[in-house]
Chains A and B, each alone.
Chain A
Amino acid sequence: MRMSLVVCALLFGTVVEGCASDSRAESAKQRPAQSAQDLAGRFVSHAEHIQPGGVAPFRGLQLVNPHDGDAKALATGAKLFVAYNCVDCHGADGSGAMGPSLADGRWHFGGTAAEVFESIYQGRPEGMPAWGSLISDDQIWMLVSYVRSLEAGKDVTSENFGGKTVERSGH
């Protein structure tokens, strides 16, 4: 938690919730007990992964966003998105820049809350930092709320160049 406080202290004039309380410890309590017999419970399940042999779907870690539906947390997530420099990789409004778009509804590692949490928490191989080592779980959940709010209606399936301007449509 000490590192989180250090980072919180760096933020300029940003209202950052989750800085003051030891939310990592609280989140840890919410995690299910794990045993060697229940390896599946240690991993996030990804809906797009193949289930070999047609057996029952992989049942992974049950992660629930404690801020789901909380507009205030989502707004804080938007501020965190700027404060932690996410914006300069993923672009304004998550439209894509150095890193991939978060607003087109096309997810490399899945778009469920648990999958997005996992991406932020442990990072991804092509340069996504593992933020779980620096910021609190609670802040990651607020970022999840914000990031998942970006995609609504933004996917583009078709581009039509027949007119004077490009017409884009999707879904």
Chain B
Amino acid sequence: MPAGDYSASRYSALDQITPSNAKNLHAAWTFSTGVLRGHEGQPLVIDNTMYVVTPYPNVAYALDLKTEGQPLRWKVRPENAQAAVGTACCDVVNRGAAYADGRIFYNLLDGHTIAVDGVTGKVLWRTTMGNLGKGETMTMAPLVVKGKVIVGSSGGEMGVRGWIAALDAATGKQLWRSYNVGPDADVKAGARFHPFYGGRDASRNQGASTWPGTTYMQGGGTVWGWLTYDPELNLVYHGTSNPGPWNGKQRPGDNKWSASIIARDADTGEMIWAYQPTPHDVWDYDAVNENILVDLPIGGRTRKALVHFDRNGFAYTMDRATGEVILAKPFVPMNWSTGVDLHTGRPQLNPEKTPFLGKKVSFICPSLEGGKNQQPAAFSPATGLFYVPTNNLCMDFEAREVSYIPGTPYIGANAPEVGGPGGYRGEFIAWDATVGRKVWGIKEPYPVWGGALATKGNVVFYGTLDGWFKVVDARSGALLWKFKVGSGVVGNPVTYIGPDGKQYVAIYAGIGGDMGLLIAGDVAANLPYDVRERGTTLPDLSRWTSWGGMLFVFSL
């Protein structure tokens, strides 16, 4: 599974690497993916084979870990429309593959899902899921649940209508598909839909009634983040992206179920509950970040919790059976809201930091990149803490009217970003979700755009935009070891036992993604061999990294 388990804990029970020996880590071997774009996601390791999926053109490699030199078992170069490169909003990333029953499943940027035989590399099926001409792309990592490959769309900046779908793992045939915005039938909100807030009657057709006319048809609400699954409840959890366009005046209303957390029946796709952290999102906050499923001791009893670090800067500890918000606390500096009303579930807005057409609002925190973005957090049952890579950026926001022209962006705002308060632009934090409190933090000069990995050895791994791969003590946050990899890290560490019985840790080095690309300004020339002018937010980042596409593997 892309995140290690269905709960997306990104926790491993391996314990060879510990705070006392981490200083002995060294590079064991490396592999060039041949692609110089943002390497979000992570490799998979199954039965001494490592599976790597690159950014566009989404080449897949199977590396034989049993043979010295890690030769390829196979390589897949799928058909993948070139136009997808300029249709994807935020670099041409891919967040990884899923494995089940001898097959690898992953999405192509141009809107296809494919299944590959894990042994032979043969493409077993290929299903068209998205319409590239309308701006739909696919970047997320699928999740396989009971023979169903669950996938979702990207393109929230292109006026698309976001969806999530399940495919038959054996055949690639679509079993169900649900939009996230629009009438109840389209979003699969039926008799079993019981949102915790608002009541059942009030909830009818909210996916359409909270939009003017049929503007939900361009309303976004895509599913480009991580999926999780609770086998006991048989629920799949996903976030949805920002509403389109960013200019809120063109879509008065709550704009449900964009910027929402949604629980769906895994078999049917039916919506069971939904919660919207940012109603009428006019900050491009999304709610697409991962929903980590853990049982936590809260208020003297064990709660079946869902923990979600939202772009809007609040960390939500929720009841994953009902959608109740147990607590919501800021995990980064913020000023757009003063808190979340737990009776209504709604954020209390700061009117001075709420953008509307005709007014340029300055220094809203967090910025549209969010307190955290796609970089997934980890949870360690050994410490009871979440390890969260965060951003500390703020923005000015100026909305403008925008026309919907299919195949072009549907944004309608300018939102330049600057560093947040405190003189640092990212922080790697440990978070106690039972009370909503930061336990420790490591300030970083740049947003921490790579994910976290926690292990039973009580160490935590993460990488940075300026190209450091770090190991810290899970209890204290003390830095134990670091290594300068070949490019900025926007991917997620994984760990595995090699054929020699040793614990290995693997990480991609390849700057890109929304942060590396748009903010670092790498596309200013769009050619990796150019010297290029950087964006204004991270003007000094180019001193520390250039483009890359490498896998680094470490061991003791």
Binding site for A on B (CB under 8 A): 82-90, 157, 400-405, 407-411, 414, 416, 518, 521, 523-527, 530-535, 539-540, 542-543
Q: Does A75 contact B (CB under 8 A)?
A: no
With A99-B86, A158-B531, A161-B540: A88-B401 Cβ-Cβ less than 8 Å: no
In the complex, what distance in Å separates the CA atom of A11 from the CA atom of B400?
Answer: 12
25 A-B residue pairings within 8 Å (CB atoms): A7-B403, A12-B401, A85-B409, A88-B402, A88-B410, A95-B524, A96-B521, A96-B526, A97-B518, A98-B90, A98-B409, A98-B523, A99-B523, A99-B526, A101-B524, A104-B533, A108-B527, A125-B82, A127-B82, A127-B85, A127-B87, A154-B533, A161-B543, A165-B539, A166-B539
Do A166 and B83 have beta carbons less than 8 Å apart?
no
In the complex, what distance in Å separates the CA atom of A70 from the CA atom of B518?
Answer: 33
In the complex, what distance in Å separates the CA atom of A106 from the CA atom of B524?
Answer: 10
> What residues of chain A lie closer than 8 Å to B400, measured between beta carbons?
82
In chain B, what residue has the closest Cβ to A164? Answer: B540
Do B525 and A126 have beta carbons less than 8 Å apart?
no
> What residues of chain B lie closer than 8 Å to A98, measured between beta carbons?
86-90, 157, 409, 518, 523
**Most chain-A Cβ atoms within 10 A of its Cβ — which of B85, B531, B542?**
B531
> What residues of chain B lie closer than 8 Å to A1, measured between beta carbons?
none
With A82-B400, A95-B524, A96-B523: A125-B532 Cβ-Cβ less than 8 Å: no
Q: How large is the interface on A (under 10, 10 to 19, 20 to 34, 35 or more residues)?
A: 35 or more
Q: Which of A83, A88, A96, A128 contacts B411 (CB 8 A)?
A: A88
Do B525 and A100 have beta carbons less than 8 Å apart?
yes
User: In A124-171, which residues have CB < 8 Å from any B CB?
Assistant: 124-129, 134, 154, 156-159, 161, 165-166, 168
Q: Which of B86, B404, B409, B525 contacts A106 (CB 8 A)?
A: B525
> What residues of chain A lie closer than 8 Å to B84, measured between beta carbons?
127
In chain A, what residue has the closest Cβ to B89? Answer: A98
> What residues of chain A lie closer than 8 Å to B404, measured between beta carbons?
10
In the complex, what distance in Å separates the CA atom of A154 from the CA atom of B525?
Answer: 11
Do B539 and A96 have beta carbons less than 8 Å apart?
no
A interface: dominant SS: loop
With A97-B523, A101-B525: A159-B401 Cβ-Cβ less than 8 Å: no
In chain A, what residue has the closest Cβ to B401? Answer: A12
> What residues of chain B lie closer than 8 Å to A128, measured between beta carbons?
86
In chain A, what residue has the closest Cβ to B135? Answer: A127
> What residues of chain A lie closer than 8 Å to B87, measured between beta carbons?
98, 127
Do A101 and B523 have beta carbons less than 8 Å apart?
yes
What is the CB-to-nearest-CB distance from A102 to chain B, in angstroms, rounded to a whole number? 10
In the complex, what distance in Å separates the CA atom of A92 from the CA atom of B412?
Answer: 12
In the complex, what distance in Å separates the CA atom of A92 from the CA atom of B535?
Answer: 11
With A88-B411, A159-B542, A166-B539: A125-B402 Cβ-Cβ less than 8 Å: no
> What residues of chain A lie closer than 8 Å to B533, measured between beta carbons?
101, 104, 154, 156, 159, 168
In chain B, what residue has the closest Cβ to A134? Answer: B405
Do B408 and A166 have beta carbons less than 8 Å apart?
no
Do A96 and B525 have beta carbons less than 8 Å apart?
yes
In chain A, what residue has the closest Cβ to B406? Answer: A129
Do B530 and A106 have beta carbons less than 8 Å apart?
yes
In the complex, what distance in Å separates the CA atom of A98 from the CA atom of B408?
Answer: 11
What is the CB-to-nearest-CB distance from A40 to chain B, in angstroms, rounded to a whole number? 27
In the complex, what distance in Å separates the CA atom of A10 from the CA atom of B408?
Answer: 14
With A97-B523, A101-B523, A166-B539: A156-B82 Cβ-Cβ less than 8 Å: no
Do A166 and B534 have beta carbons less than 8 Å apart?
yes
In the complex, what distance in Å separates the CA atom of A128 from the CA atom of B526?
Answer: 14
Do A156 and B410 have beta carbons less than 8 Å apart?
no
> What residues of chain B lie closer than 8 Å to A104, measured between beta carbons?
524-525, 532-533
Do A83 and B531 have beta carbons less than 8 Å apart?
no
In the complex, what distance in Å separates the CA atom of A154 from the CA atom of B524?
Answer: 11
In the complex, what distance in Å separates the CA atom of A86 from the CA atom of B405?
Answer: 11
Q: Does A53 contact B (CB under 8 A)?
A: no
What is the CB-to-nearest-CB distance from B247 to chain A, in angstroms, rounded to a whole number? 10
With A89-B409, A101-B526: A127-B86 Cβ-Cβ less than 8 Å: yes
**Most chain-B Cβ atoms within 10 A of its Cβ — which of A13, A127, A165?**
A127
With A98-B409, A125-B82, A166-B543: A106-B527 Cβ-Cβ less than 8 Å: yes
Do A85 and B405 have beta carbons less than 8 Å apart?
yes
Do A89 and B403 have beta carbons less than 8 Å apart?
no
> What residues of chain B lie closer than 8 Å to A89, measured between beta carbons?
86, 408-409
In the complex, what distance in Å separates the CA atom of A42 from the CA atom of B409?
Answer: 32
In chain B, what residue has the closest Cβ to A108? Answer: B526
Do A125 and B83 have beta carbons less than 8 Å apart?
yes
In chain A, what residue has the closest Cβ to B404? Answer: A10
In chain B, what residue has the closest Cβ to A106? Answer: B525
In the complex, what distance in Å separates the CA atom of A82 from the CA atom of B407?
Answer: 15
What is the CB-to-nearest-CB distance from A160 to chain B, in angstroms, rounded to a whole number? 10
In the complex, what distance in Å separates the CA atom of A166 from the CA atom of B544?
Answer: 12
With A97-B518, A104-B533, A106-B530: A84-B408 Cβ-Cβ less than 8 Å: yes
> What residues of chain B lie closer than 8 Å to A101, measured between beta carbons?
523-526, 532-533
In the complex, what distance in Å separates the CA atom of A122 from the CA atom of B11?
Answer: 50
Digitize A7-25: 1 where CB-to-B-CB distance is under 8 Å, 0 elsewhere: 1001111000000000000
In chain A, what residue has the closest Cβ to B536? Answer: A95
> What residues of chain B lie closer than 8 Å to A157, measured between beta carbons?
531
In chain A, what residue has the closest Cβ to B157? Answer: A88
> What residues of chain A lie closer than 8 Å to B83, measured between beta carbons?
125-127
Contacts A12-B402, A100-B525 known; list 6 others, CB within 8 Å. A12-B401, A84-B405, A85-B402, A125-B82, A128-B86, A156-B531
Do B403 and A83 have beta carbons less than 8 Å apart?
yes
In chain A, what residue has the closest Cβ to B542? Answer: A159
In the complex, what distance in Å separates the CA atom of A84 from the CA atom of B534?
Answer: 25
In the complex, what distance in Å separates the CA atom of A11 from the CA atom of B532?
Answer: 34
In chain A, what residue has the closest Cβ to B250? Answer: A12
What is the CB-to-nearest-CB distance from B536 to chain A, in angstroms, rounded to a whole number? 9
9 closest A-B pairs (Cβ-Cβ)? A127-B86, A88-B409, A100-B526, A12-B401, A85-B408, A10-B403, A126-B85, A96-B524, A88-B411
Do A7 and B405 have beta carbons less than 8 Å apart?
yes
In chain A, what residue has the closest Cβ to B541? Answer: A166
User: In A59-112, which residues have CB < 8 Å from any B CB?
Assistant: 82-86, 88-89, 92, 95-101, 104, 106, 108
Do B532 and A156 have beta carbons less than 8 Å apart?
yes
What is the CB-to-nearest-CB distance from B110 to chain A, in angstroms, rounded to a whole number? 10
In the complex, what distance in Å separates the CA atom of A26 from the CA atom of B402?
Answer: 29
> What residues of chain A lie closer than 8 Å to B523, measured between beta carbons?
96-101
